[in-house]
Amino acid sequence: MKKFTNYAPGPRGITLKSGETVWLQPGQSESVDPSKIVEPLPDLGSKVEQDTSELDAITAERDELKAQVADQAKEIEGLRADLEKATKPAK
């Protein structure tokens, strides 16, 4: 028995000599006797190790920018309040 895993997007079918098809959903694995498989095998894709360092850097930059925007919004609100006080007619 050999273990087959579908790394490709979408379901893939392994056809057996008996006429049966073993369907693999993305990420699913099944053990099948290689001598019972009708060649060629479908493209099951390949396991890819993801490098998340670039995503982590972008996420950190986004969080920093969000903090800057929040700080600027507070500053603008303070300036708006000061402007309203300064332009209010005296009673």
Tens digit of each residue's pLDDT (9 = 90 or more) over 26-58: 999 999 999 999 999 999 998 876 677 888 899
Write the CB contacts of 4 (distance below 8 Å, at least 6 apart in sequence).
14, 24, 29, 30, 31, 32, 41, 44
The pLDDT score that the predictor gives to residue 56 is 87
Mean pLDDT throughout 51-77? 92
Q: Quick check: 90 pLDDT over 90?
A: no
DSSP assigned state of 16: B
